[in-house]
Structure 1
Amino acid sequence: MATMKDIAKLAGVSTSTVSHVINKTRFVSEEIADKVNRAAQDLNYAPSALARSLKMNRTKTIGMLVTTSTNPFFGEVVKGVERSCYHQGYNLVLCNTEGDSQRMRASIDTLLQKRVDGLLLMCSTLVGERIDIFERYPDIPIVVMDWGPMLFSSDKIQDNSLQGGYMATKYLIEAGHRDIGCITGPLIKHQAQMRYEGYKRAMNEAGLGFNADWILEGDFECEGGYQCFKQLYERGNLPSALFVCNDMMAMGAINAANELGVSIPDDVSMIGYDDVHIAKFMTPSLTTIHQPKYRLGKAAVEALLKRLEQPDGETQMVQLEPTLVERSSVMPINY
């Protein structure tokens, strides 16, 4: 493998001149620069990424932790992260925690030992935990994505789940529904709590009562939505509409409804949350709250790079606003 010394010998210049040309650290005349670049090309020289990272104290690599899920929401966010890293000239190292706290800590340790420039964390198993390893790397910038309270300082990117839950329920109310149920996510998770709070706010604002039989706690996965709708059906009288707090549970709920002979939306209207790519291809196509997944990923990368440039700046919290996507799973009614 060719070295700078080999290039210097072929071009008839000093090794330091070669370094300045390749690293663009000092002005070198066009004639000399051309000589050096031609020599480098002739020798098939490739600069060492490792050597450059040691010199610049940057590896141009970002580490990201996610919790595994069948929910394509995570994949769509990662797509935004990866594309933004590419446009910024960064590499992305992705680790899956499998929802396991011990594996999460081992992954963080591995990424930090590999000298990533910063970390993106999108794994709710961190909520409420003290991560001692961060204390050993106090200068590593961290951006937390889409989940709530932590015991360590970081920049944060999230969607406004309270507003999204409110918008979903208000849309059902404005469509004429008064008997409205809710399948929540796991209420230990911040985003699930906020979507449920939005539901309650809209119901209270409209002066509507709550039927405990129509409120069930799911798991943000298809199976949870499927089982919750079956429980709802077994309890007897169905609501006229359901706010299901993510699209994957809505998919499971629609499947259960079909098995039970309940028509969506003729018998029960349904609205989801996230607007994953497959939501518009469901039967019926799902009315839902759009969460800006690509922008969530892009904003996280931008926040991390800003923190790298301004390490002592104030901690920032970027909140992305949800929007309503109307499709075919909600039927307006008149009482």
Structure 2
Amino acid sequence: MATMKDIAKLAGVSTSTVSHVINNTRFVSDEISARVNNAAKELHYSGPSVLARSFKVNRTKTLGMLVTTSTNPFFGEVVKGVERSCYQQGYSLILCNTEGDHQRMHESINTLLQKRVDGLILMCSSLEGEQIDVFEHYPDIPVVVMDWGSMLFTSDKIQDNSLRGGYMATQYLIAAGHTDIGCITGPLIRYQAQMRYEGYKRAMNEAKLSFNLSWIVESDFECEGGYTAFMEMYQHGRLPSAIFVANDMMAMGVINAANECGINIPNDLSVIGYDDIHIAKFMSPALTTIHQPKYRLGQAAVETLLKRLDNPASDTQTIQLEPTLVTRNSVKIIAN
């Protein structure tokens, strides 16, 4: 098996020069890089085709992605879009889970950067509003973030229009004839949860409908949170005729809790969710929801990152994808 020493001898350069070319640790002229590349090919050094691309464009053809572990299949559907797009573009993907742990999150970012990924996709809402000092040491590594609010580091951003989605969901319930409408929000410290709640409030105010604070409960975007939030609402007495639940996972918890309480969906209580995860149409009843283009979110993140690699000096951008309404069987139409 050929070694760096063999390549150095054939190329007529030092072993350290070969190391710098292969590991991209110091600038080496195109002429010398080509000699090392040709020697590596001639000696069948491991991965010559990958090396050749790296020498030519100074890239590893690898992207890193950081995601918060969750039971919500929404994340898996987005990751699928990222992975498929990477494959189509000839890139590999290194995926790291944070498990919701800040230390692990920072360690994962360090690990991905040390592996010389060409760029990073971050889908970890616990980073929202944080200063990530490590990025200052890697100013040439482009970063794309997904589904976050304000950030203290430079990056492109991909998100869905959650304000419009929350507005659309509530407006649909109003058009269906509901006037007593509750809302189970996600954690309001998170931008997307806050925007969905703002959309709910905007639709209610436009229709001049009153708010019952007993029907507005903040939760955590998980099934258990939806279950607990509904039970809290139920214990306060009279229920609304409809609830906008800020994601499908919580909506599943709500429907489960309602069934336990003998409340029929949608005859006694209408429920609309958000995300349109794959299993939403297989729930009983099938869930009316706001479709978030999950695969397209992942695809857009990769496309944006590759554009940034080709044009590093261009202005950062926020790409906003629009939600759509998916009507199924969980909302009762009571309008005349």
Letter of the 1:283 partner, please give it.
S
* CA pair 216-45 structure 1, distance change in 2 beyond 3 A: same
Aligned mates of 1:242, 1:298 — CA distance in 2: 32
TM-score (norm 2): 0.87
Offset of 1:15 from its aligned partner?
8.1
Match of 1:31 in 2: none
Match of 1:149 in 2: 150
TM-score (norm 1): 0.87
| SS of the residue 1:261 aligns to | coil
Offset of 1:52 from its aligned partner?
3.8
Match of 2:297 in 1: 296
After TM superposition, the runs of 4+ consecutive aligned structure 1 residues lying more than 3 A away are 43-54
1:48 to 2:36 alignment = no
Aligned mates of 1:78, 1:51 — CA distance in 2: 27
Aligned mates of 2:335, 2:171 — CA distance in 1: 16
Residue pairs, 1:23-34, within 5 angstroms: none
Residue pairs, 1:178-327, within 5 angstroms: 178-327=179-328
Match of 1:133 in 2: 134
Letter of the 1:301 partner, please give it.
V
| SS of the residue 1:279 aligns to | helix
Runs of 5+ consecutive residues of structure 2 not aligned to the other structure: 13-29, 32-37
Match of 1:93 in 2: 94
Aligned mates of 1:112, 1:121 — CA distance in 2: 13
* CA pair 90-135 structure 1, distance change in 2 beyond 3 A: same
What's the Cα RMSD here? 2.5
Match of 2:103 in 1: 102
Q: Is the 8 A contact 2:175 2:335 kept in 1?
A: no
Aligned mates of 2:279, 2:211 — CA distance in 1: 31
Identity percentage of aligned residues:
73
| SS of the residue 2:106 aligns to | helix
Aligned mates of 1:145, 1:49 — CA distance in 2: 32
Match of 1:332 in 2: 333
| SS of the residue 2:273 aligns to | strand
CA distances 1:175-220 after superposition (whole Å, capped 9, x unpaired): 0000000000000000000000000000000000000000000100
CA distances 1:12-64 after superposition (whole Å, capped 9, x unpaired): xx989xxxxxxxx99xxxxxxxxx9xx98xx9886336644652421100000
Offset of 1:301 from its aligned partner?
0.0
| SS of the residue 2:289 aligns to | strand
Offset of 1:151 from its aligned partner?
0.5
Aligned mates of 2:326, 2:243 — CA distance in 1: 16
| SS of the residue 1:149 aligns to | coil
Q: Is the 8 A contact 2:62 2:92 kept in 1?
A: yes
Runs of 5+ consecutive residues of structure 1 not aligned to the other structure: 7-13, 17-24, 27-35
1:70 to 2:71 alignment = yes
Match of 2:25 in 1: none
| SS of the residue 2:86 aligns to | helix
Residue pairs, 1:138-177, within 5 angstroms: 138-177=139-178
* CA pair 53-104 structure 1, distance change in 2 beyond 3 A: farther
Letter of the 2:83 partner, please give it.
E
* CA pair 129-44 structure 1, distance change in 2 beyond 3 A: closer
